[in-house]
Each structure stands twice: as C-alpha cells, then as structure tokens.
Structure 1
Amino acid sequence: MKKRKLFPKTFLYTFSLMMVIVAVSHLLIYILLPTVYNYRQRNELESDIERLCEDIEDMEDSGRLSLVTQFAGKWNADIVVKYDGYTYEMNLLNAGGSEPADIHGNMENVDVIAEKTDGRIKISLSQNPKGKTDFFYGERIFSGEKGYVKTTVSRQQIEDAVSTVIMILPVTAFVCTIVSIVFALLYSHMITKPIKQISDVTKQMQELSSGAYCEVHTHDEIETLADNVNRMYDSLIKTIHDLEQEIHKVEEMEVQKTNLLRSASHELKTPVTAVNAMLENMILDVGKYKDHSVYLPKCKMLMEQLSVMIKEILDASKAERTDMEDDEEIDLSELVEQIAEPYRMIAKSKGICIKTDISKQFMITYPVSMIKKVISNLLSNTVSYTSKGGTIRIYLDGEKLIFENDCVPIPSEYLKHIFEPFYRPDDSRDRNTGGNGLGLYIVDTILKTLQISYSFTAMENDSGMRFMIEL
C-alpha cells in the first residue's frame, strides 16, 4: 500500500474536522434560531403586558391612553384595555391590512399552536386563519376583575429575521469553507515543516554525514524530539569514533605482539642454539668441549640470560594490559628516590653520578606497578649507556618528568626505531652491555597504554639524550 505523505494527510484531517464544525454550527443555527428567538419575544411580551397592567392601575384616567399607545407602537399590535368602566383600544396591526382575529372575542375560530400561562397572563402562539403570519395573542385580567388587557402581536419581524439568517447561511458556509482551507493549509505547513526537516536530517545522519544537525525552534515536543535526535547522533558519532580508535589501537597492539613474537623467537633462538650445541659437544666429548668445567658455566650463564629475556618478554606482554591493577595516588618524588637507590650503587661502580631534583611533593594517579616499571627501565637504560664519569639528571619541569644522561647522542636514523623490540642501534649497544633491546619497548608500550605523552631526543649541545614524560 502506497504511503500518503504527511502534509496532505494533515491537511485532509484538519480540513475535515473544521468542515464538521462548520456544518454542525450552521445546522444548530438553522434549528435553534427560530425557537430561541420565539422564546425571547414571548417572554418580553409577557413582561411588557405585566408592566402595562401595573402602570394602568397606578395611573389616572387621563394618562392610560398614552400607555396603551406606547405599547401598541412598540409592538405594532392591536390592543384592547378595559379597566374600571373605561375601554382603550389601538389597532396598529390592522393598519397593515392583516386582521388575524377578532381580539374582542374568545378566539374560538383560531388554532392555538402553543400556550403559556401563569394564572394571570396567558400568551398563545396562534395560527393566522387567513394563512398569513402567525401571531402572539396575550390576555391579562386585572386584579379584582376590574378589567382585562387583550392584545394581538404579529410574528412577522421574527419570521423576517429568521428568513434573513437562513438566507445568508449558504454564504457563511462558503466563507467558512474558504477560511477552513486556508487555515488547514497554514496549520499543516506549520506542523509538517519541522517534521520534514527532521526527516531530511535523519537521512543525512543515516549516511553518517558530518555536520548533520536538526535545527528546529518550535518550543514544543517537536523541538524536544529534534534535540534528542541531535544528542543521539552526537553520541553515535562519538561511539563510532571511539570504536575506530579502539580498533586502531587493537590493530597496533596486534602488530606489536606479532613483531614482539617474531623478534623474540629470533632472539631466543641464538642462546638456545648455543647452549644446545655446547651440551651436545660435551656429551660427545668433541675437542675442547671435553673440558666440562669451562663450558658448563657458560651454558649456565646463557640460560640465565635466557631467563632474564623471557621475564622481560612477559613483562612486555603485560605492559599492554591496564586491567591488572587499579589507579592509585602516587607521590612521584618519593617513588623516584625509592627506585633510584639500587641504581646509585651500580652507577657509582662505573663512575657515574645520579642527581635527582624532585624535592617537592608531586602527586599523580596511575597504576603503581606500571609507573615503577617505566622509571626502572629508564634508569636501567641511562645507567647502561651513560659514558664513564658522566652524569644522570632526573628532575621535574612543571608537570614534566625529565631524564637526562651524558652519552653519545643516538643518530636520528636510529632514533625512529629505538622503541622497536630487541632493537639495538649499533655495536656498542648489545646484550653484552646488559641490554637486550626490550627496555624502551616496554616503556613505550606502558606510556601509550596509559595515554601519557613523551619524547626522546638529543640534548641541545649534543652532550647526551633527554627522555621527557608529560604527566
């Protein structure tokens, strides 16, 4: 089934509702107007007759005729008043050439359509025997039966007014129809315009278009809907962005793991092959390998190096995980002094001086074990590669923790690979100096996992290297 668009649907519903209201209101006018108008006229006639009788009773003989004349003139009526032996008569209704009935008689030849009496005044709606306009007949007996008032009032004015209103009903119905069409068009446009805007923008959002935004200012539930759509889209874009970053991060981690495993397999293969060859030759008593007392300690030394390397490989694999430990508040000055203490003895034996300048308390919030590993690996790296008699400086510059050591600066072509696993830039930086190429890789992995920025550059005067951590 074909879907009808919102604008014509809203227009049809609105126009139909307004036409129902117009039709019902005109029908009520057509039905109720004659009845209501007739009721009001009858009540007013009754009040005037009652007031006339009261005034006649209070008035002297000379003034009663003027009261009768005023009543007849107001109602354009025939009236006969008989009171205290005097008769007052005025025939304005007959002057029009229409004599509905003999008001001096008892109206026996007149058909009464409706009659109302309260015991004193009787008002009858009577049919004109001559077939013309119906009339009101009123009769009132004075107190003490001193006389009576009889009057006949034509309903011609009522019927003229009703006929006029009924005659203009088609015109008003047509005008109301035109107004209903215009109003329905304006209302439908006002209602559907913001909804169409939301529909168009959500199509752009469906395609994840950048800058898609529902700008609706109706100050009602439609504006609330637009705001909710905008917030939902912003949340969706943010979630997609976070997922893309997470996917990119996972891809980088997978690449690092692959590189680590590839490099680890190569690095582990060398000592394992060497130990296996020496043990096999010793078992076969081949040549110099008959001297077990020389080569067994070498095998032990290689196995110890292998054990250290395996431990650091495991540390490197754990460095990517932040779910192992919760964040804690750490006093950095105290932690650096604590970690630096054992390295001072190693440095002293090599003629290297370690200077720390973190006297003031500096609090950070990170996993303690991971921060310890970073500081320990950086200290180990600086002690291993600082020139004999050189100096290692550790200090704070604002919110930056800086490690500087006196050494031959690493060339820029080597520096971009320095954080790769098992990478050693030159012959002077091999495992015989105590390093296996995993220290800076672990530092890089931990800092990236904790989203901490850092830099590793040569010092300005080429006197050494500087590692700067922005906490």
Structure 2
Amino acid sequence: MLKKRGITRHTFLFTSLLISLVIVISFGILYIALPDYYFYSKHKKLEDHAENLVTDIKSAHTQKEINELIKQFSALNNAHVTVYDEKDELIVELSTPFSLYVNHLGDLPRVRVKIQDNSDNHDTYKKREVIIMRNKVDSIELRKDIGVHDIGFIKISGTMQPINEAKNVIISLIPYLLLVDILIALIAAYLYSKKITKPIVALSDTARHMQTLTPGITSGLRTKDELGELSENLDLLYEKLCSNIENLKKEKDKVTELEKSKTDFMRAASHELKTPISALNGIVEGMIDNVGVYKDKEQYLLKSKKLIDNLSYLLNEILEASKLHVNESLLKMEPINLQEIIKGALEDNQLFIDEKQLYIDLEEIHYRIESDYPILKTVISNIVSNAVRYTVEKGIIRISMTDEADFYCLSVENQCEKIPENDLQKLFEPFYTRNYSRTKDKSGTGLGLYIVKGNLEKLGLPYTIENTSLGFTFNIYFEKTAQ
C-alpha cells in the first residue's frame, strides 16, 4: 500500500522523521535545561520556605520550639540549616544535622563554635568540628537575618546532588528511551498517515472514476472540514458537468430533429408548391397554344387567378411557418384582453361564417392574461380560422374560458366529424389536412395547427386537443397572474 500510494508513504516518512526529531530535541533540552530549571525551582522554593522559617523562628518562645522548626524545614526541603549568633559563632545545638547529634547526647548547654578556630582540644568540640566539615558539591546557599533569641542569622544550604544523579540516570536510559519512543513514533506516524490520507485517496479514486462520465458517481465524504467541503464541491461540480452533458445531448438531438424537420418541411413545401405551379403552367401553355378547352381564355384566366391566389396564400403560410425556426428576440410580455383578440379573429372570418350559416357561442371573457400580443393573436386567429373552416354547415362554434386551480383555460370547440384518436397528433404536422392525406384537400394548406403548435411552444403555454360530444375542441392554458 505504501508503495502504491505515494502520498501515504511521503506522509508516513515525514511524520515519523518529525516525531523522531522532536523526541531527540526534547531529550537534549531536558538534559541541558534540567539542572538550571531544578536550580531555579529549588532556589525559589527554598527562598519562600526560608521566609516562612524566619517568621516562625521570630514568633517561637523556646529553643526546643526553634529546634523543631529547623528540623522540619530541613527534612521538608532536603537542606542543612546552620545557626549563628550575633558574633558569627555557630550555635551547634540548633544547626542541622548537629541538632540530631546533640539531642542524642542529651540536653547540653548552648555551645558556640567558630568555624575557623581549630585550637580547642576538647574531645567533644573536635567531634563537632569534624561534623561541620562538608564536601564541596554544587549547592544553593541562602542567608537570612533573625535578630531575636540570641540568633544573629541562619544559613541554608540546599544540595544539587539529586539532579546530578538524575542526569546520570537520564544518560543511561537515553538509548532505551529513544528506541521505545522511535518505535512508538513509527506506529503513530503510520496510523496518522493512513488516517490523514484516506479521504485524499478516496477523492483521488472518485476523480478517476468520474473520468468515465458515468452519472451518479459521488465521493461520499461528508466530514466537517476542508476535505469534506472539497468533496461536496467536487460532487456538485460533477453533477453539473453530467447535467450539462445531458443537456448538450438533448440540444444535439433537438437540433438534429429540427434539421430533419426543416428538411421534411422543405420537401413538403416544395411538393405543395409544385402542384399549383404545374396546374397553372399547364393552363397558361394551353391558352398560349389555343388548343382544346383552353380556347375559352376568359374561363381559364379566372381559374389561373384562383390558382395564383391559392399559391399566394400557401406562400404566406410557408413564410409564417418558417419563422418558427428563427431564434427571434425576447418575448414582449404585456397585459392582453382576450375578448378583443377573439372578436377580431371572428370578424376576419365573418364572410365564411355567414356563408356556412354558423352559430357562434361566445362567452364574455373578463380575465386579462400576460403574453406576447402579436404571437398570441396569430395563434388565436389560426385556431378560430381552423374551426370555421372545418365546422359543418349550420354548425356551432363555442368559445369559453374557465377558471381552474392554477390556470385559466381558453376552449375553442366546433361541431365537426370525430377525428380518430390515433390521428389527433398528426394535425400538428405540416401540410396535414383533414382527409388524412397530404396535399389533396383544397380547403386548407395544412399549416395552421403546425404554426399554432410552434407559437404556443415559443410562448411556453400548455395546450391540448380532444374529441368532444359536439365534435373537436382546442384548449390553451394560461398561468394565473395578479389581477
């Protein structure tokens, strides 16, 4: 694993070296700084306790009480206390460790000894002189003035021997301690490197899997730190990337479909244009050659005019349909009175309404909606025109608007023959006419509902078509807005 995962190996080596270095430096600092720290600590402690001892001695009433105070101080602080009178002479029975010796001999008179004077031959004094001779070792020396009970001052001597012994012990233990500590450091470094690099390795594996662009891949790391934040951002980035790729695929399919639709539209348009042009060309050639029935030029000029009118209407429809594939500017949304648009569309078809003696059932529409006026007008005009064209003689056209939960529904229903359910959606195909074949029905171009469908999709308005008990209805749904 360490060979495979470079970051784990590097982290392990760096961490183990760092911990080992810290251990070695710590031992070095301990060895160097321990005597000075011990001296500082010992000196401070002796200084504080010495002040207390001076206070206690000054408040004591008997020599025995003073002796107990000094012995307790000496035992507590591992220090010797020597007591001197105002003449700088040693008071043996109060000084440690002589006070223990004096007490062992019994109560003796207070004895004063000059340190520098060795001319006295008294055996007792000689013994005491030997006792007061000390080895020259590192020590802490303090002097505190007393001034009561015939005591001039005291000297406190704290030995440094324990710290010297501790240094020697540390030196002897260093090889073993280093070995154990380095072993612990290696184990700790290995565990730490595994733990710290585990989420990084997981993110690396996830990123490698994301190269396949397979949807749904996530790192699954949700820790409350920077790695967790990185993991979450990586997942969001990959999700957006997959979403964008999917959208691009859809756009590509849409463009492909659009190109196919354009191609099919142009082929159908060419075919639709070819028929009236061929008929018109035949009539004109017959009149020019003055042959057969075409000798009656007045009659065939009228037919030619009708063919030209139909051709002109067809071209206008084709041009209108071609606009659906042009990416125009943004829609201009504005409040619209549907009642006015519907009445205008009915007026445009009034001649045909009167000719077929149709009954128009138009409800009063009071709702105002938001939309693009020119496009919506084209939509409603085509729907109304289509309803007028295919309604039976003396039939009914019913136009109403209902208030539903989230939408207003505009319905244009006309009385006509039922359309097979399988053929309903074919009505939106270009050049598809009501006799369910292309280019044979001369009552229309077959582009009306194709144009309606494209414009409704441009406006983002849902729509439905369905057979009803009366015949056929076209529904448009407008989202409610504040009135």
Residues 362-441 of structure 1: matches in 2 within 5 Å? 362-365=368-371, 367-397=372-402, 398=404, 399-412=408-421, 414-426=423-435, 434-441=443-450
Aligned AA (2:328): D
C-alpha contact (below 8 Å) 2:345/2:385 kept by paired residues: no
Distance in 2 (CA, whole Å) between partners of 1:448 and 1:305 is 28
Distance in 1 (CA, whole Å) between partners of 2:338 and 2:432 is 29
* Residue 225 (structure 2) aligned to one of 220, 224, 237: 220
Note the C-alpha offset of 1:341.
Answer: 2.7
Aligned AA (2:475): M
* Residue 115 (structure 2) aligned to one of 93, 96, 104: 104
Q: Which residue of 2 aligns with 1:35?
A: 36
Q: 2:451 aligned with 1:442, yes or no? A: yes
70-79 or 447-456: which moved more?
Answer: 70-79
Distance in 2 (CA, whole Å) between partners of 1:7 and 1:55 is 65
C-alpha contact (below 8 Å) 2:70/2:81 kept by paired residues: no
C-alpha contact (below 8 Å) 1:135/1:153 kept by paired residues: yes
Q: Which residue of 2 aligns with 1:15?
A: 16
Distance in 1 (CA, whole Å) between partners of 2:294 and 2:142 is 152
Aligned CA distance change for structure 1 residues 242 and 336 (closer, same or farther; 3 Å): farther
Aligned CA distance change for structure 1 residues 278 and 58 (closer, same or farther; 3 Å): closer
* Residue 359 (structure 2) aligned to one of 347, 353, 360: 353
Distance in 2 (CA, whole Å) between partners of 1:238 and 1:248 is 15
C-alpha contact (below 8 Å) 1:321/1:449 kept by paired residues: no
Q: 2:213 aligned with 1:208, yes or no? A: yes
Aligned AA (1:466): T
Unaligned runs of 5+ in 1: 96-102, 107-126
Q: 2:274 aligned with 1:262, yes or no? A: no
Distance in 2 (CA, whole Å) between partners of 1:387 and 1:429 is 21
* Residue 297 (structure 2) aligned to one of 292, 297, 305: 292
C-alpha contact (below 8 Å) 1:422/1:438 kept by paired residues: yes
* Residue 236 (structure 1) aligned to one of 235, 241, 265: 241
Aligned AA (1:360): H
Note the C-alpha offset of 1:31.
Answer: 0.6
Give the length in aligned residue pairs.
439
Residues 291-330 of structure 1: matches in 2 within 5 Å? 291-321=296-326, 323-324=328-329, 326-329=331-334, 330=336
377-386 or 349-358: which moved more?
Answer: 349-358
Distance in 2 (CA, whole Å) between partners of 1:47 and 1:458 is 109
Residue deviations 1:452-471, cap 9 Å, x none? 44333322x4x422223344
Task: Please tell me the root mean square deviation across aligned C-alpha atoms, in Å.
Answer: 4.0
Distance in 2 (CA, whole Å) between partners of 1:10 and 1:418 is 70
253-262 or 4-13: which moved more?
Answer: 4-13
C-alpha contact (below 8 Å) 1:395/1:402 kept by paired residues: yes
Unaligned runs of 5+ in 2: 101-113, 118-133, 479-483
Distance in 1 (CA, whole Å) between partners of 2:450 and 2:59 is 125
Alignment TM-score, normalising by the size of structure 2: 0.76
C-alpha contact (below 8 Å) 1:381/1:439 kept by paired residues: yes
Residues 132-171 of structure 1: matches in 2 within 5 Å? 133-135=137-139, 154-170=159-175
188-197 or 62-71: which moved more?
Answer: 62-71
242-251 or 421-430: which moved more?
Answer: 421-430
447-456 or 307-316: which moved more?
Answer: 447-456
Aligned AA (1:268): L
**SS of aligned partner of 2:444:** coil
C-alpha contact (below 8 Å) 1:128/1:134 kept by paired residues: no
Note the C-alpha offset of 1:147.
Answer: 6.7
Q: Which residue of 2 aligns with 1:81?
A: 84
C-alpha contact (below 8 Å) 1:78/1:152 kept by paired residues: yes
**SS of aligned partner of 1:417:** helix
Distance in 2 (CA, whole Å) between partners of 1:307 and 1:406 is 29
Residue deviations 1:417-471, cap 9 Å, x none? 3322222342999777531221122223333444444333322x4x422223344
**SS of aligned partner of 1:418:** helix
Distance in 2 (CA, whole Å) between partners of 1:258 and 1:378 is 26
Note the C-alpha offset of 1:36.
Answer: 1.8
Note the C-alpha offset of 1:312.
Answer: 0.5
C-alpha contact (below 8 Å) 1:275/1:302 kept by paired residues: yes
Distance in 2 (CA, whole Å) between partners of 1:162 and 1:429 is 110
C-alpha contact (below 8 Å) 1:385/1:407 kept by paired residues: yes
2-11 or 265-274: which moved more?
Answer: 2-11
Q: Which residue of 2 aligns with 1:113?
A: none
Note the C-alpha offset of 1:80.
Answer: 6.4
Residue deviations 1:311-367, cap 9 Å, x none? 1101011123452452313333432233223224421221111222252314143x3
Aligned CA distance change for structure 1 residues 331 and 7 (closer, same or farther; 3 Å): farther
Aligned CA distance change for structure 1 residues 252 and 395 (closer, same or farther; 3 Å): farther
280-289 or 162-171: which moved more?
Answer: 162-171
Q: 2:11 aligned with 1:6, yes or no? A: no
Distance in 2 (CA, whole Å) between partners of 1:168 and 1:50 is 38
Note the C-alpha offset of 1:13.
Answer: 2.9
Distance in 1 (CA, whole Å) between partners of 2:259 and 2:88 is 129
**SS of aligned partner of 1:319:** helix
Q: 2:197 aligned with 1:192, yes or no? A: yes
Aligned AA (1:104): I
**SS of aligned partner of 1:446:** helix
Note the C-alpha offset of 1:289.
Answer: 2.9
Distance in 2 (CA, whole Å) between partners of 1:58 and 1:449 is 107
Q: Which residue of 1 aligns with 2:256?
A: 251
Alignment TM-score, normalising by the size of structure 1: 0.78
Aligned CA distance change for structure 1 residues 148 and 414 (closer, same or farther; 3 Å): closer
Identical residues among aligned pairs (%): 34
Q: Which residue of 1 aligns with 2:123?
A: none
Note the C-alpha offset of 1:30.
Answer: 0.9
**SS of aligned partner of 1:279:** helix
**SS of aligned partner of 2:256:** helix
Distance in 1 (CA, whole Å) between partners of 2:56 and 2:458 is 109
Distance in 2 (CA, whole Å) between partners of 1:378 and 1:69 is 120
Q: Which residue of 2 aligns with 1:25?
A: 26
C-alpha contact (below 8 Å) 1:139/1:149 kept by paired residues: yes
Distance in 1 (CA, whole Å) between partners of 2:421 and 2:52 is 121
